[in-house]
Structure 1
Amino acid sequence: MDQNSSDDTDDPITRRVLSDSAYDRIRVERFTHFRQSIPRKLAIVGVLLGSLTLALPLYSLYSVETTAYVPSIDPGAASPTVVLLGTVAVGIEFGTAVLLVGAGLYRARNEPLTESQAISVFNVENFATYVGFGTGGFVVAVTLGLFALGLGGAESLSWYAETMASNPFRSTGLGFTVTHFATVALSAALAVALAREYVATRLP
């Protein structure tokens, strides 16, 4: 009997339910698809941001025949409209990271939280996670999918342009190049990685 009782309290979910932390109890009681810790969620956001830097090597592999559909095959000179979509993805993921960091630091500074504070922190964390992993993850996937499309050469770009009646590689005329975009994505990913390490050291 004592052994069973010990096993029960060793279960992480049971420990959270029995915990004095209102935040831990709320995380168990409230529904969410994402039960990772805040540092773990920040790590995932960092990976999503880092994956956007693949746009640079992907674009660098475009063949000369794609010049009919892209502004330039030089990623340092080309400013295709798809980078604007990628910039939206960076904004969503970085915004997600800001909210997660804020939730984590608020919890660290105000622990033990009251029930209402714990609910507020959980709601902010949950909202940010759904936006970052759901909406943001989708935009990241679409962005990388479009960049990968160019690897198929002019035929793939022609097929897409005819099918969708739109060319995602037409010039933006803004001077914001693929190289600039990849640099921004990398910078954001590194910032999130540093923030994750800081939050992890502050949380209990």
Structure 2
Amino acid sequence: MSTDDTRGEDPVAAALTEGSAYERLRVQRVSVFPWSLGEKLQWLGVVLLAFGVAVGAFAFVTPNGTTVPVDPGTVPTYTSMVALIALATLGLVALVLSILGVVRERDEPLSDERAETILVVEELCALTGFVTGGTTAAIAVTFCLVPFTGPEAVTWLATTLERSPYAAIETVYPIVPTTLATVALLLGAVCLLAGRRWQTQ
């Protein structure tokens, strides 16, 4: 097999020998999330879509006056607040990653220093999105789905937390699952499209 054929089949070798400064430095970095920028956005889109479905389902939880004292579909609850925090974190990360994609595309060819700066910010975004945002989203999804498993599970959760995540809270603006789910699904779709746009980056 010729050297050219090997490069064509091995993206790492191709990046090292023929890629831009960004591509070369990216494949050399030791990263928690070694995916390309496009792949990060696509995975973020998958997380947002799954999150949106779970939060949307929470709107259909039926209040029973005890374990779920209010209608979570119309009344803001602690669960909706946690979901809002998760959505805001994931949305901010998606925005910054998209900006990095635009900056990289606009400023090519990048110097090694500029490429390294972009990669550092990209790594911080991935850590924030998939660790902090992902953990918060997982907690919110758990809160959203527990009521469907039965009142015993809801009682156990409220007892463990020493506060019911389904209790009403006062907010300036109505934070309800349908709104959060709609935003999450739209944002997830945008992330998937943007990820395809920069899939090779």
Name the TM tier (shorter chain): 0.7 to 0.9
Match of 2:151 in 1: 154
Contact 2:38 2:195 (C-alpha < 8 Å) held by counterparts: yes
Match of 2:57 in 1: 57
The normalised TM-score by structure 1 is: 0.85
Matched, 1:200 2:198: yes
* Farther off after superposition, 114-123 or 169-178: 169-178
Identity of aligned residues (%): 26
Matched, 1:128 2:125: yes
Contact 1:87 1:181 (C-alpha < 8 Å) held by counterparts: yes
SS class of match (2:129): helix
Contact 2:25 2:115 (C-alpha < 8 Å) held by counterparts: yes
Shift of 1:122: 0.7
Shift of 1:73: 3.5
SS class of match (2:97): helix
Name the CA shift for 1:83/1:89 in 2 (closer, same or farther; >3 Å): same
CA offset digits 1:15-36 (Å, max 9, x no partner): 1111251111111211112222
CA offset digits 1:131-178 (Å, max 9, x no partner): 111111111111101111111222211111112212111101223222
Match of 1:182 in 2: 181
Matched, 1:145 2:142: yes
For 2:70, the aligned partner's letter is S
Structure 1: where are the runs of 5+ without partners? none
Match of 2:42 in 1: 43
Match of 2:68 in 1: 70
Contact 1:82 1:168 (C-alpha < 8 Å) held by counterparts: yes
**Correspondences of 1:6-21 after superposition (within 5 Å):** 6-10=4-8, 11-21=10-20
CA RMSD of aligned residues (A): 2.2
Contact 1:63 1:153 (C-alpha < 8 Å) held by counterparts: no
The normalised TM-score by structure 2 is: 0.87
Contact 1:90 1:188 (C-alpha < 8 Å) held by counterparts: no
**How far apart in 2 are the matches of 1:180 and 1:46?**
17
**How far apart in 2 are the matches of 1:20 and 1:79?**
50
Contact 1:80 1:178 (C-alpha < 8 Å) held by counterparts: no
SS class of match (1:171): coil
SS class of match (1:86): helix
Higher percent of residues as helix = 1
**How far apart in 2 are the matches of 1:15 and 1:110?**
21
Shift of 1:74: 5.8
Contact 1:56 1:179 (C-alpha < 8 Å) held by counterparts: yes
Which one scores higher on RCO, CA 8 angstroms, separation ≥ 6?
2
* Farther off after superposition, 172-181 or 108-117: 172-181
SS class of match (1:68): coil
* Farther off after superposition, 86-95 or 16-25: 16-25
Aligned residues: 197
Structure 2: where are the runs of 5+ without partners? none
